[in-house]
Each structure stands twice: as C-alpha cells, then as structure tokens.
Chains A and B, each alone.
Chain A
Amino acid sequence: MIGAIPMTHGLIVAAVLFALGLVGLLVRRNIIYMLMCIEIMLNAAGLAFIVAASRWEQPDGQIMFIIILSTAAAEVAVGLALVLRFYSRFKTLDADIANDMRG
C-alpha cells in the first residue's frame, strides 16, 4: 500500500488502547471484565509490535504478535477455567470476595 503512516501515530494509538485497558482493569470488579481488559492490553501491545514491524519492514514484529496471541489464548483458557471454579465456590463474580490473604 502506498503512503507512509508515521510510526508515532501508530504507537500513540497503541498507547491509548493500553491506557484504556488499564483503566478498565482497575475500575471493574467483575472478573470477566478484568479478563477482557487484559485482552485489550495484550492486543494493544501487539499493535505496537506490528507498527514497528511495518516500519522496519521485517517479519520479526509479526512473529512476536503470534507469540502474544498464543500466550493470550492459553491465558484466557486457564483464566476462564479459574473463573468457573471461582463462581462455583463463591457463587458470585466479585473479585473483592477473595481477600483471605490479608493482614
């Protein structure tokens, strides 16, 4: 494709997405929302890699994105399994319930 997109702009978009994900993570109490926000952040990081790969015209960034993707997949699988266990134990999805390791 013709045309040059300044790398800065792409990275700024990634940064904004990351920040939004962070806000969502810190504000939300529901575990499912937290996991979703983590996905947002991972995606934003991947975007930054792809932007960089496009800038240097090398496949390395894309490979990194694949790794991020597979990591996110594994993590979601395990995380959702844990959510199921959490729900069956506490009967609610409130993350603040699980605070036994305090003091």
Chain B
Amino acid sequence: MIAVFYIASVVAIVSTLMVITRMQPVHSLLYLIVSLLAVSLMFFVLGAPFIAALEVIVYAGAIMVLFVFVIMMLNLGREAAEQERRWIDISMWKGPVILALVLLALMIHVLHGGNPGAASGRVVSPKEMSIALFGPYLMVVELASILLLAGLVGAYHLARRDTDNKEQKRS
C-alpha cells in the first residue's frame, strides 16, 4: 500500500509538470485530469475513500468538464498553440522557477522540524465525517451552500449574452 502512495505521488508530480508545459490547452487539461486521478488514489491510500470519490466526481468530473466546455466554446484551434509558443520562451521561466524553488525550500525546511508522526492509514469512514459535518461544522455547510448559490447566480449573470438592446437595458 505504501508503494501505491509513492507511485501515485510521482505520477501526480509528473503530470502536473506536463500540465504547465504543454502548448495545447486541451492537452494540459487532460494531463490535469490524470494528476487529479493520481491524487485521488493518494487520498484512498490515506484512508479517505469518500474524499477520493468526491475528488473524482466533483473535481475531475465537473470542474474539468467545465474547462473543456469553455475551451470548446472558445474554439481556440491551432493558432492558439502557435500563440502560446510565441508567448513562452525559456527566459520567462527563470524568475518563477527561482521563486518556487525558494518557496519549496522554505516549506521543506519548515516541514522537517519536529517529529510530526506518521499517517496510520486507518480509514476515516464517511459516517464519522458526516457526524462531524452536521454536528460542530453545521454553519460551514450553510456557508458553503450560500457560496455555491452566489457562484451560481454570478456565473449565470456574467455569462449571459446580450442579444439585443432591450435585454441590455433590462439587465
């Protein structure tokens, strides 16, 4: 089981690397989905099956699909890839890579201090999670639902196309 974890982590890292370096948006999207699946596997190993399922269903299944919709809607095509190549050249990578390496070094330094212990891998069942969710974390649920409502309304309003002047004035 432990090996699964490590293999999945390597897959996730590699595919994420591929996400940020591809020129075609659809390609990087697909690599992102692979990365998300790998992470879901890691969740499963760590004893959170419900979350693993949620990751696949919501994240990879809904959010990425949204991305696909938009990319297809925008109909980017080959010129997009050409454009991407023109925009990205090697010299642009220097600054962010250095910054990220510094951040990484910092985080690793922080993480190595102390002895946090080990993940035991005991499964935390959905039952326990739900009891906690509808117990002490009830407000969180409500807030999350309001957030989703706001997102819903906002997305609907923003994405509406103004077909003619009457609609424009009314909105």
Q: Is there an interface contact between A26 and B119, defined as CB atoms closer than 8 Å?
A: no
Contact A62 B20 (CB under 8 A): no
Determine which residue in A21, A50, A87 has the highest number of CB atoms from chain B within 10 A of its CB, and name it: A50
**In the docked arrangement, what's the CA distance between A30 and B89, Å?**
14
Which of B48, B55, B69, B112 counts the most A-chain CB atoms under 10 A from its CB?
B48
Interface size class of B (residues with CB under 8 A): 35 or more
Report the bound CA distance from A65 to B133 in whole Å: 12
- Complex-state Cα separation, A5 to B30, whole angstroms: 29
CB distance from A48 to the nearest CB of B (A): 10
| Set of chain B residues within 8 Å of A60, measured between Cβ atoms | 132, 137
CA distance A26 to B96 in the complex (A): 6
Interface residues of B in 116-171 (CB under 8 A from A): 116-124, 128-129, 131-133, 137, 140, 144, 147-148, 150-152, 154-159, 161
Cross-chain pairs A/B with CB under 8 angstroms, 18 sampled = A11-B111, A20-B16, A22-B103, A23-B99, A28-B20, A28-B88, A29-B84, A32-B25, A32-B70, A40-B16, A51-B119, A63-B132, A63-B140, A70-B144, A77-B154, A80-B70, A81-B154, A94-B87
Interface residues of A (CB under 8 A from B): 1-13, 15-30, 32-33, 35-37, 39-40, 43, 47, 50-51, 53-55, 57-60, 62-63, 65-67, 69-78, 80-85, 87-88, 93-94
